[in-house]
Amino acid sequence: MNDFSIYNLPFGVFEAGRGPRLGVAFEDQVVDLAEAAAQGYFRNIYFPDPSVFSRPSLNAFIALGRPYWRAVRNRIAELLLDRRLLIERESVRMLLPIEVGDFVDFYSSEEHATNVGKMFRDPKNALLPNWKHLPVGYHGRNSSIILSGQDIHRPKGQINPTNQNPEFGPTRQLDFELEMGFIVGRNTSLGSSVSVAEADSCIFGMVLLNDWSARDIQRWEYVPLGPFLGKSFATSISPWVVTLDALDPFRVAGPAQDPPVLAYLQSHDDRNYDIELEVYLHPESEASPMRVCRTNFRGIYWNMNQQLAHLTSNGTNLRIGDLCGSGTVSGRTPDSFGSMLEICWNGTRPLTFPGGAVRTFLEDGDTVILRAFAERDQVRVGFGELRTKILPAL
């Protein structure tokens, strides 16, 4: 089944010889929203500024608010009858869908946090004392958020493999992190906060996200202030933004939270999403990619609403286009671990490919492919893929 069915209709930004413009993906085609506006298809929807469809990002369109997002999406079915508005998806060049204001990455999978704790701390007390009381996160860089298809160079930094004297050079432990991301859809004022119940109204949609990690750089630098150069070199996202309206049929209950969380984080409705996640790894020497992970987003311990409520609980303001990552999504079994760190258990369990390639972390020339989809009763809502190739350090 196609990821971009009539039940999905995700938004993105593309270029096909006439400048950047907004589009909606449908099967193997793109609906040109700028052309649709020019042809009068939105004449029954009052737009304060129709040029929002001819911008290099979704931000101005998002700023119009949820009633406009829904009105345009509901109109798409009629637009599919006009061949002038349809462009083959393989012929367009996708652009970063949003102008990112701020980027926050959370650490919200209990299985992932437990695995990391077992590896590097006391296995009997893998989670730090705060982990089940608040969504742990860090503030990243927006300047290094890139689009699927853009290659990355192996980052360099300080590493200390002998625990004696640090050295500077390319990371030896480059890793992917399988994540989902959500895009903020409403500005809020400094000093205000967003409740768990209100958070839906502040989220435009979701993307696939890979928050790359240089594990050896991160391990040496993170005490006492957390991730820095080991994370900031690149964060990749998929080009099509899937709306919460499209994902609404796939809402499910999240894991039971024990001990009970504080009142401002309590979540009473189904706020997790049943989204299948996959990672494929393709070394250059192999004939084809191999799946190294399959897991599900429904098991995330801290849902997006709780993440947003905690993020704003101190009064920080939100801006349209802000991006938040879920943190690595891992399941309970080795085939569902969302990073090479876990799959190969910090290098002690090498991964062998059909053609003979062996990996413990990522090597130059490797291509990492993330995919995600929700499917139920013959209805599929997918995210396409997030593909990145690793190049040697500069």
Domain boundaries, the chain: 11-95, 103-391
Taking residue 70's Cβ as centre, other Cβ atoms within 10 Å add up to 12
Determine phi and psi for 113, rounding to 5 degrees. Answer: -60, -35
The C-alpha atoms of residue 369 and residue 367 are separated, in whole angstroms, by 7
With bands split at pLDDT 50, 70 and 90, how would you rate the model's confidence at 50?
confident
With bands split at pLDDT 50, 70 and 90, how would you rate the model's confidence at 14?
very high
* Mean predicted confidence (pLDDT) in 92-106: 97
* Mean predicted confidence (pLDDT) in 104-127: 95
The active-site residue out of 112, 153, 268, 310 is 112
Q: How does pLDDT run across 172-205, given as a tens digit for each residue?
A: 999 999 999 999 999 999 999 999 999 999 999 9
Q: How does pLDDT run across 330-339, given as a tens digit for each residue?
A: 999 999 999 9
With bands split at pLDDT 50, 70 and 90, how would you rate the model's confidence at 385?
very high
* Mean predicted confidence (pLDDT) in 274-292: 98
* Mean predicted confidence (pLDDT) in 18-35: 97
Q: What is the predicted pLDDT for the residue at 328?
A: 98
Which of 171, 242, 184, 159 lies closest to 212, judged by CA?
171
Q: How does pLDDT run across 217-271, given as a tens digit for each residue?
A: 999 999 999 999 999 999 999 999 999 999 999 999 999 999 999 999 999 999 9
103-391: which CATH architecture? Alpha-Beta Complex (3.90)
Name beta bridge partners: 138. Answer: 105
Q: What is the predicted pLDDT for the residue at 83?
A: 86
Which is the CATH superfamily of the domain at 11-95?
Fumarylacetoacetase, N-terminal domain (2.30.30.230)
Q: With a cut of 90, say whether residue 51 has pLDDT above it.
A: yes
Taking residue 357's Cβ as centre, other Cβ atoms within 10 Å add up to 17
The C-alpha atoms of residue 59 and residue 157 are separated, in whole angstroms, by 34
The percent of residues in the chain predicted with pLDDT above 90, rounded, is 93
The C-alpha atoms of residue 338 and residue 108 are separated, in whole angstroms, by 12
Q: What is the predicted pLDDT for the residue at 161?
A: 86
């958020």: which residue's tokens?
A: 145
Number of helices (H), then strands (E), in the chain: 9, 26
Determine phi and psi for 186, rounding to 5 degrees. Answer: -150, 140
With bands split at pLDDT 50, 70 and 90, how would you rate the model's confidence at 171?
very high
Average pLDDT, the chain: 96
| Residue 84: alpha-carbon gap to chain centroid | 32
| 377 token code pair | 């009763």
List all residues 6 or more positions away from 147 whose beta carbon is below 8 Å from its beta carbon: 94, 95, 96, 236, 237, 239
Please report, for residues 105, 175, 218, 258, the alpha-carbon distance to residue 172 in angstroms, rounded to integers and kept in the order given: 23, 10, 12, 38
- Which SS3 state, helix, strand or coil, does residue 336 take? helix
First CA to last CA across the chain, in angstroms? Answer: 41
The C-alpha atoms of residue 312 and residue 73 are separated, in whole angstroms, by 29
| Residue 207: alpha-carbon gap to chain centroid | 5
The C-alpha atoms of residue 34 and residue 212 are separated, in whole angstroms, by 34
| 279 token code pair | 């990672």
DSSP H or E segment with residue 343: helix 340-343
Which of 218, 232, 221 lies closest to 346, judged by CA?
218
Q: With a cut of 90, say whether residue 162 has pLDDT above it.
A: no
The C-alpha atoms of residue 358 and residue 370 are separated, in whole angstroms, by 20
Q: What is the predicted pLDDT for the residue at 143?
A: 96
Q: Is 112 a catalytic residue?
A: yes
HEC letters along 202-263: HEEEEEEEECCEEHHHHHHHCCCCCCCHHHHCCEEECCCEEEHHHHHHHEECCCCCCCCCCH
Q: How does pLDDT run across 72-97, given as a tens digit for each residue?
A: 999 998 889 898 999 999 999 999 99
* Mean predicted confidence (pLDDT) in 348-376: 98
pLDDT greater at residue 369 or residue 84: 369
Q: What is the predicted pLDDT for the residue at 336?
A: 98
Q: What is the predicted pLDDT for the residue at 155?
A: 98
Q: What is the predicted pLDDT for the residue at 301?
A: 98
The C-alpha atoms of residue 231 and residue 213 are separated, in whole angstroms, by 5
* Mean predicted confidence (pLDDT) in 86-109: 97
Q: What is the predicted pLDDT for the residue at 77?
A: 84
Per-residue DSSP letter, 362: B
The C-alpha atoms of residue 293 and residue 378 are separated, in whole angstroms, by 24
